[in-house]
Amino acid sequence: MIFKKVNKLNGELNIPGDKSVSHRSIMLGSLAEGITEVHGFLNGADCISSMNCFRQMGVDIRYDGNIVTIYGNGLTGLKAPAATLDVGNSGTTTRLMSGILAAQPFESRIIGDASICKRPMKRIMTPLRMMGADITSELGNDCAPLIIKGTTLKGIHYDSPVASAQVKSCILLAGLYADGETSVTEPYVSRNHTELMFESFGVPVSVSGTTVTINAAQKLIGQKIMVPGDISSAAYFIVAGLITPNSCITIKNVGINPTRDGIIEVVKKMGGNISYSNVSNDVGEPTADITVRTSSLKGCTIEGEVIPKLIDEIPVIAVLACFAEGTTVIKDAAELKVKESNRIDVMVNNLSAMGADITATEDGMIINGGRELHGTVIDSMMDHRIAMSFAIAGLNADGETKIEGSEVVNISYPTFYDDLKAMMN
């Protein structure tokens, strides 16, 4: 796919459903009693992987392209899958589902694509084993394929070395089945969609600072879930509206959960013209329409507790920083190295190739903004967030920006290019 400079972007759009919430709706709906109806489900490859895995375990999940209807099997009703569970490219499916599988009365095997087979699984294997789980990495490299022999679990307290919602959620899902109390403390609060959804399915959750505690559940009760628009997907349009001349973009019904809204905080700190309207707290996850306008931006430092609140937006924030006056420093973000690609190296190499002044550090990057970008060939490394970030950079660079592997946006935002094109009219 090729991108060229545009001189304006204007319009309104509805962003697809939140990926994190969509995954969790499939998992909790499958474990619930009764029917769970999911509105606004993200029809992206990762969430479809979750759906197919639970179908393989005997859950009747129907999707008409609009509403997902899950006829839950109850906490103890999953069936042994007849074949290996394939999670595709989805880290969330791998890690969250492992917590559930650890407690089932059957053995399962998880595989995924080349990227999944390189992502670290020790971070979930360690706490799950502390709970009594039998989980092994088939190749002995602490990565997938994983073999999980379900067994009886006991509650633990786990001090997580990383702020990771996938680690936290894996332990909490295992905790639904564990004997006694299960709690997780994180260095900083990570996204809390699992906790919010537990509460709505009838599982009490207690939160104190960065510690979350639950007890074994008796049952989950099927729910109606309204999935908000994904702020991680909205981020590309937020940045596009800020850096492209003569632009005004309104993104409707975006999830603004305070554990996910770090990009808004950063945009405000950089002096961006961004505002909320139609703020709603009605449906479990808060939402708002977000409007952005072309802005003069200044660099800033992004570090500490805001990092887990914008971890997936850092690639596109790096693009934003190239269009700000002065220096932007991103720290405490070493987690970027273990995503679908090494997002520090891939951003630094590709933005450097476009002419940006950007340097990689151990746990982030330093960007001196204000240099003109020029088009080049970008290898997406089959990472959806890299492809979308460089589409936005390409619309603001001289010459042609060619993105290889551009189809990878299917993972989280299948209609991304169409939605972007609609802003150019």
Q: Which residues are catalytic?
A: 312
Strands (E) in 25-90, as ranges, are 35-39, 60-63, 67-71, 85-86
Query: Residue 160 interacts with ligand SPQ (CB under 6 A)?
Result: no
**Positions in 14-73 near ligand SPQ (CB under 6 A):** 19-20, 46
168 vs 397, beta carbon nearer ligand SPQ: 168
How far apart, in whole angstroms, are the C-alpha atoms of residue 57 and residue 73? Answer: 9
348 vs 385, beta carbon nearer ligand SPQ: 385
Which candidate, 350, 342, 341, 336, places its Cα nearest to that of 379?
350
Beta bridge partners of 212: 184, 207
**What is Dmax (Cα atoms) for the chain?**
61
**Positions in 167-186 near ligand SPQ (CB under 6 A):** 169
Closest approach, Cβ 267 to ligand SPQ, in A, equals 19
Cis peptide before 258 (omega within 30 of 0): no
Closest approach, Cβ 339 to ligand SPQ, in A, equals 4
Closest approach, Cβ 16 to ligand SPQ, in A, equals 13
- Cα dihedral across residues 318, 324, 325, 329: positive or negative: negative
Structure tokens at 369: 């903004």
How far apart, in whole angstroms, are the C-alpha atoms of residue 347 and residue 317? Answer: 10
Per-position x/- string for 301-340, each x denoting binding to ligand SPQ as judged by CB under 6 A, each - no binding: ----------xx----------------------x---xx
CB-based contacts of 151: which residues, under 8 Å, 6+ apart?
102, 103, 132, 133, 134
Query: Residue 195 interacts with ligand SPQ (CB under 6 A)?
Result: no
Structure tokens at 422: 């609609």
- Contact indicator for 365, 315 with CB cutoff of 8 Å: no
Of the candidate residues 50, 164, 213, 406, the single one contacting ligand SPQ (CB under 6 A): 164
Residue 110 DSSP label: E
Closest approach, Cβ 20 to ligand SPQ, in A, equals 3
Binding segment for ligand SPQ (CB under 6 A), chosen from 72-80, 161-169, 200-208, 322-330, is 161-169
Kindly state the helix (H) or strand (E) to which residue 350 belongs, with its residue range.
helix 343-353
Query: Residue 233 interacts with ligand SPQ (CB under 6 A)?
Result: no
Query: Residue 90 interacts with ligand SPQ (CB under 6 A)?
Result: yes
Query: Residue 166 interacts with ligand SPQ (CB under 6 A)?
Result: yes
Q: Which residue is nearest to ligand SPQ (CB)?
A: 91
Query: Residue 341 interacts with ligand SPQ (CB under 6 A)?
Result: no
Query: Residue 250 interacts with ligand SPQ (CB under 6 A)?
Result: no
| Environment class of 74 (CB within 10 Å of its CB; exposed 0-12, middle 13-18, buried 19+) | middle
Of the candidate residues 88, 412, 413, 419, the single one contacting ligand SPQ (CB under 6 A): 412
Binding segment for ligand SPQ (CB under 6 A), chosen from 84-92, 220-228, 254-262, 298-306, is 84-92
Give the count of residues interacting with ligand SPQ (CB under 6 A).
19
- Contact indicator for 207, 325 with CB cutoff of 8 Å: no
Q: Are strands 211-215 and 248-255 parallel, antiparallel or unpaired?
A: unpaired
Of the candidate residues 30, 49, 73, 92, the single one contacting ligand SPQ (CB under 6 A): 92
**3-class state of residue 280 by DSSP:** strand
- Contact indicator for 57, 29 with CB cutoff of 8 Å: no
Query: Residue 350 interacts with ligand SPQ (CB under 6 A)?
Result: no
Closest approach, Cβ 398 to ligand SPQ, in A, equals 29
- For 423, phi then psi, to 5°, come to -75, -15
Binding segment for ligand SPQ (CB under 6 A), chosen from 87-95, 256-264, 360-368, 389-397, is 87-95
Of the candidate residues 16, 91, 286, 375, the single one contacting ligand SPQ (CB under 6 A): 91
Binding site for ligand SPQ (CB under 6 A): 19-20, 46, 90-92, 164-166, 169, 190-191, 311-312, 335, 339-340, 385, 412
